[in-house]
């Protein structure tokens, strides 16, 4: 089964298989780097890693428009429901669920998760997604953590990792993360959206290629790759 993964800048990722269009962290409105408008995307499922506005983004309006199922932690699902989203699937860290289109598991992330209205957004998370035999890891916003080594035992085909620094791990720690996760392919994300997270992704890619056997794909917003 071919899986098409499209990066729309920041942490916005669409995963398309023959069974699902799954949109992660749909920060499109107000994101100067996003090459599409929310109206251009038609997700069946929306996954949200944590409560910050640059990750919840357009989740509420997109979920309502398309009747999309929202997957997130319990607290964020409550928030979405209180804003009129009808289909939610609450989960929590360490828990996974076998959906008809594949498996989603919430993994740890060291970060915050306050929601746009200031309410408590539970624990921030990463996402481990399994489609048939392919495994994709979206780290959400996080610092480096040693348990990435455990995630690496899952044989990750594609890892999407923040490299922006300031709010998440920066380039140095993100190289260490690739060493621990040992993915086949890695895509850097969560950089250049704001001044304080400007980075040189090509320089980072060169460092990763020197130290690991992972293949780095530096994407422009809107670019896709096949897993
Ligand atoms: Ni955040
Ligand atoms: Mn963020």
- Domains and their CATH numbers in the chain: 4-221 (3.60.15.10)
Distance 25 CA to ligand 2 centre (A): 9
Residue 157 pLDDT > 90: yes
Residue 1 pLDDT > 90: no
pTM across the whole model:
0.98
What are 4's strand-pairing partners? 16, 226
Burial of 30 (0-12, 13-18, 19+ CB in 10 A): exposed
Distance 26 CA to ligand 1 centre (A): 13
Q: Which ligand is nearest to the CA of 9?
A: 2
Q: Which ligand is nearest to the CA of 190?
A: 2
Residue of 137, 89, 42 whose CA lies nearest to 58 = 42
CB 145 within 8 A of CB 180: no
Q: Which helix H or strand E contains 171, and what residues bound it?
A: helix 171-181
Q: Tell me: the pLDDT tens digits for 110-139?
A: 999 999 999 999 999 999 999 999 999 999
Burial of 44 (0-12, 13-18, 19+ CB in 10 A): middle
Distance 99 CA to ligand 1 centre (A): 26
Residue of 132, 146, 151, 137 whose CA lies nearest to 49 = 137
User: What's 38's DSSP letter?
Assistant: G
Distance 161 CA to ligand 1 centre (A): 13
């Amino acid at each position: 089964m071919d899986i098409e993964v499209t990066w729309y800048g920041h942490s916005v990722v669409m995963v398309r298989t023959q069974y699902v269009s799954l949109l992660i962290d749909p920060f499109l409105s107000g994101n100067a780097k996003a090459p599409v408008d929310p109206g251009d995307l038609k997700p069946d499922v929306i996954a949200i890693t944590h409560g910050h506005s640059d990750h919840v983004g357009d989740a509420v309006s997109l979920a309502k428009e398309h009747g999309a199922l929202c997957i997130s932690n319990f607290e964020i699902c409550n928030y979405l429901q209180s804003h009129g989203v009808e289909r939610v699937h609450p989960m929590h860290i360490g828990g996974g669920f076998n959906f008809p289109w594949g498996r989603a598991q919430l993994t740890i992330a060291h970060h915050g998760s306050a929601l746009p209205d200031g309410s408590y957004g539970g624990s921030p998370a990463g996402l481990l997604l399994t489609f048939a035999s392919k495994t994709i890891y979206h780290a959400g916003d996080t610092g480096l953590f040693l348990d990435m080594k455990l995630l690496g035992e899952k044989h990750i085909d594609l890892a999407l990792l923040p490299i922006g620094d300031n709010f998440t791990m920066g380039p140095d720690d993100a190289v260490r993360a690739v060493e621990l996760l040992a993915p086949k392919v890695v895509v850097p994300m969560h950089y250049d959206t704001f001044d304080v997270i400007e980075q040189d992704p090509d320089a980072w890619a060169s460092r990763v290629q020197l130290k690991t056997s992972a293949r780095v794909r530096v994407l422009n917003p809107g670019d896709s790759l096949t897993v």
